[in-house]
A = this chain, B = another copy of it.
C-alpha cells in the first residue's frame, strides 16, 4: 500500500478530472449504480468527538474507497486541528489496499467545493454576473475560486461576521467585502458557507430569481437559511434522506412548508436539467455524500497509478 501525503495529493489532483468524476458520481448515484456501505460511527463525550467511517463503490470502477474521519471539537484549545482522517483506495478485484491518502481533510474540502460548483452551474440564471459568498473560511475561498472559474462569475462580493476577515479574503481573491443587504441586493448567485446554527439569511432579504447554494448545514442543528426562505424556494438536494435529516431542507419539511418528495435530487437534475423560471428562488442544499469522496479519491489514484 502506498502512503500518500498531502503535498503529493495536491500536486497530482486534476480539478477538471475531479469535477467530471464528482458529477459522474452524482449521475450514477441517481441511476442506482453506486453501492454505499452503512456508515460506521462512534461518539465520544469527554472530550466531545465523533468518528465516522463511510465507503462505497461505483459499479464497474476498478477501485472502491473508504473514508475515515474524526472531529474532536476541543482540539483547537490544544493547538490541534479538530479534524483528522484519511481515505483508503482498495482494489475491487482483489481487496488489496492500494493507497492511503493522508489528505488532512483537503480532498473533502475540494469535493465539497466541486459539488457547490456543479450545483451552481445547474441552477444559475443565464446572464448572471455577480457572485455573493457568505463566510470567510476554506469553503468560502474554494467555492469562490471554483465557481468563478466554472461559470465566469468574476464580480465577487464577500460578507462575513468578521468584516476584517471578509476584507482579507476579498483582497486575496480579487472581490469586495460588503454588508449582507448589499450582497443580497446585487448577487445573482449566493453561496453560504458558514457553520451557523442560527438562520441569518432571511426570506425578506432575498430578491426573486436569486439562486442559493448552501453548504454549511452538514450536521443536525445547523441552519443558514430562514425556514420560510427554503420553504418558498425550489429546493435541490444532494441526498433527499440526508437533507431531510440534517440539511436546510429538513427545517422546511418539518415545518410543513415543503413535501419531502418535492425535493429534487442533484443527480436527477443533472440527468434531466430544469428550465427554472427567471424569478424563481432556487436553493441547492448540500450536506455531502460518500460518492463525492469515492469520485475524488479515485481521481487521485488514477493519476498516481498512471505516473
Binding site for B on A (CB under 8 A): 1, 3, 35, 37-42, 44, 47, 49-51, 53-57, 64, 66, 68, 70-72, 75, 78, 80, 82-86, 88, 90, 92-97, 100, 102
Contacts and interface: CB of A to CB of B under 8 A. Distances in A.
Given A39-B38, A40-B38, A102-B1, A78 B51 contact: no
A51 B35 CA distance: 12
B54 A40 contact: yes
Contacts of A66: 40, 51, 53, 68
A177 B127 CA distance: 84
B68 A95 contact: no
Contact of A70 (B68, B86, B95): B95
A212 to B, nearest CB: 32
Please state the number of chain copies in the assembly: 2
A193 to B, nearest CB: 23
Contacts of A51: 37, 55, 64, 66, 90, 95
18 contacts: A1-B102, A3-B3, A37-B40, A38-B38, A39-B40, A40-B40, A40-B53, A42-B57, A44-B57, A49-B92, A51-B66, A53-B55, A66-B68, A71-B95, A72-B93, A72-B94, A78-B94, A84-B94
Contact of A92 (B44, B75, B93): B44
A41 B38 contact: yes
Given A40-B40, A102-B1, A80 B55 contact: no
